[in-house]
Chains A and B, each alone.
Chain A
Amino acid sequence: MEKNLLEIRDFSAGYSFNNVKVEAVRNVNLTLKENEFLGIAGESGCGKSTLAFAITRLLEYPGKIFSGEVIFNGMNLMQLSEKELRKKRWELFSVVFQASMDVLNPVKKIEDHFIDTFQAHQSIGLKEIVKQSERLMELVKVSPKYLKAYPFQLSGGMKQRIVIALALALNPKLIIMDEPTTALDVVVQRKIMQEIDLLRKEFGFSIIFITHDLSLLVEISDKLAIMYGGEIVEYAPSIKLYNNPMHPYTNGLMNAFPSLTGKTGRLYGIKGNPPDLSKKIDYCPFWDRCTDNNTGMCEKSVKPHLIEVEKDHFVACNRYKERIV
């Protein structure tokens, strides 16, 4: 059994300003093993990006971590000083952001990005940096000759690959990817996913991959966590989750994507809107939108907790018993 790389315990974070407290991440518990691919899915505003920013302590004002612990490789990230943390970032974990092709500095050549990264963390000579950068560029299948190019001379897919190469530069143990491929074309997206997966197997790092595209995640991730209203409502190995989604929200989310080769026929989206996260929710956050809510089988006032209903399959729904196969 591989050991746990990341443990998130009772973690709450969000935003607070003008006496308004928005709890975008509520009491999240997650573990990530070494060399594991964890997908986090949910619609916009469910707190998935906030979670990614908060656990790496990148959340800026008015963002705030309210409570909880994040144990990374045996140390509590929440207790590190800003200085210590700065050193650990990139070496231990790196983050690839949404629309990350725009994070490259437009007035700097690609090689300068690599030089900056290496010099900030290691005492390393220029020659060695160039050697390393060339190796990294080859890894992500961009010709090293583009080290001399400026970002605007590259296509979106190439920029994305370079950002991934930068994220890999210091051999981190974990890469967090926040919708890295949404702005790309389907074919490019698939190829980049394919390469990320190969690199992961080669170098043995873990990935937390955040997206709203559940059908993409199901195919590539080992485990999946479904977030709704700031909470994890279902957490299971991808195959289990796909074959037997136990939370009505997971089910709705899966049906929200028309399938390419499967059966045709009318599908329906999830009615209603996500809950207002600035309020306290002491009931099932999905109750108002749930298709089961009026059958009299489920009390709104009873808040379901995330429990392990089968081996490795966690779900937060009062009616999980009916869905065990």
Chain B
Amino acid sequence: MFELKGIYKEFKIGSFRDRRTVYALNDINLKIRDKEILGLVGESGSGKTTVARLIEKIYNPTAGEMKIDGVTIPYKMKKEELKGYRKHVQMIFQDPFSSLNPLHNIRYILSRPYKIHDLGRSDEIDELVTNQLEKIGLIPPEMYLEKLPYELSGGQRQRIGIARALAVKPKLVLADEPTSMLDVSIRLDIMNLILDLKEKENVSFLFITHDLAGARYVSDRIAIMYAGYMVEIGESDEIIDTPLHPYTELLKKAAPKPESGLVPEIIEENGGIPNLTEKITCCPFEPRCEKRMAICSQKIPELKSIGDGRLVRCFLY
């Protein structure tokens, strides 16, 4: 349904004299299928959010191609075209406290998508908003319509954010760490809501997170990112049960998993994250890898398919 092909993104930073380039994304290839939740996992600075912002067309890639339903998305779009495109691709933000305008009530916030995208006469909008509130589990809706964001809890606010994104019936929703600011007891509710909405509304999600267990819970497939590279993609259970890339293995080791005995695994790993302002000429994970070989410091491995839709970027395979 949605496809990223050979995407590169570079940012120019620094002052006039000291110009540098941040190589934020390198050779990203990713497909998001219909009615699929794709988990995008990686540490801070690995480029997860940049991927989401490219898809939302907040900025353009430096090179590469994006396709939706087989049609290439042009780099330059007129304002109206962009609006039409964003009707298909919506976003949910990490921080439910700052993503809703504190001065407007819920009725106004949720009526905006319908007005902007011309999806109903003004007398119909109220009903649409009410339906939308019911859909995301804020019942009875009348109780919430006149409230201002500060009167709602974090979980309720995140639900409003989700309702707003889904109002225009998008094909793809980009959820950038939608649960990381929420309390532990509410996180699951939001993840369950996303799972339910996928079924009911026929929508795909790109679920960005750094929590591997959470990604496994919601996603059909998981993509692991490291230093701007996609290092492994596959079915969720397979990624977790048999991680192939050493970085995925490390992530699995580091995640708490009391169910497999209460003795945590010891991590022996040193070496830093590559400097993103320099063009990498070897495997980005090489300095931290326990299984490094001579070839790893000589060139960048390709993202190879090893069957069953599993892709790995590592010389071991």
Contact = CB atoms under 8 A, between A and B. Distances in A.
Contact of A260 (B192, B210, B257): B257
A191 interface: yes
Q: How large is the interface on A (under 10, 10 to 19, 20 to 34, 35 or more residues)?
A: 35 or more
A203 interface: no
Interface in B259-286: 259-260, 262-264, 266-267, 269
Interface in A199-215: 212-215
B240 interface: yes
Given A186-B212, A187-B43, A187-B267, A259 B184 contact: no
A98 to B, nearest CB: 14
Contact of A185 (B210, B253, B263): B210
Contacts of B269: 187, 191
B258 interface: yes
B202 interface: no
B237 to A, nearest CB: 7
Contacts of B260: 261-262
A17 B238 CA distance: 55
B84 to A, nearest CB: 36
Given A215-B258, A218-B256, A269 B186 contact: yes
A261 B256 CA distance: 10
A43 B255 contact: no
Interface in B140-161: 153
Contacts of A43: 183-185
B213 A219 contact: no
B125 interface: no
Given A218-B262, A258-B213, A261-B241, A186 B251 contact: yes
Contacts of B188: 256, 258, 267-269
Q: How large is the interface on B (under 10, 10 to 19, 20 to 34, 35 or more residues)?
A: 35 or more
Contacts of B257: 215, 259-262
Given A187-B250, A194-B267, A220-B264, A259 B185 contact: no
A306 B92 CA distance: 42
Contact of A261 (B184, B210, B240, B267): B240
A224 to B, nearest CB: 11
B107 interface: no
A269 B187 contact: yes
A191 B187 contact: no
Given A261-B240, A269-B188, A213 B254 contact: no
A58 interface: no
A186 B211 contact: yes
Given A216-B256, A259-B257, A260-B216, A190 B183 contact: no
Contact of A219 (B185, B195, B253, B256): B256
Interface in B56-107: none
A224 B212 CA distance: 24
A260 B216 CA distance: 7
B280 to A, nearest CB: 18
Contacts of A239: 262
B259 A253 contact: no
B210 A219 contact: no
Interface string B203-237: 00000001111101100000000000000000001
The CB with the most chain A CB atoms within 10 A, among B237, B241, B259, is that of: B259
A189 interface: yes
Interface string B165-194: 000000000000000000111111101100
Contacts of A193: 264
A262 B259 contact: yes
Interface string A265-303: 011111001000000000000000000000000000000
B164 interface: no
Contacts of B305: none
A152 interface: no
Contacts of A50: none
A185 B254 CA distance: 10
B122 interface: no
Contacts of B185: 43, 252-253, 256, 269-270
A258 B267 contact: no
A238 B261 CA distance: 12
B21 interface: no
Contacts of A257: 184, 213
A66 interface: no
A79 interface: no
Contacts of A273: 153
Nearest to B46: A185
Interface in A58-95: none
Interface of B: 43-44, 153, 183-189, 191-192, 195, 210-214, 216-217, 237, 240-241, 250-260, 262-264, 266-267, 269
7 contacts: A186-B210, A189-B254, A194-B264, A194-B266, A260-B212, A269-B184, A269-B187
Sorted nearest first, the 8 A-B pairs with minimum C-beta distance are A258-B217, A269-B188, A190-B254, A262-B259, A270-B185, A185-B43, A215-B256, A260-B213
Given A212-B184, A264-B216, A264-B217, 8 more contacts: A186-B251, A187-B269, A190-B267, A194-B267, A218-B262, A257-B213, A258-B191, A258-B217
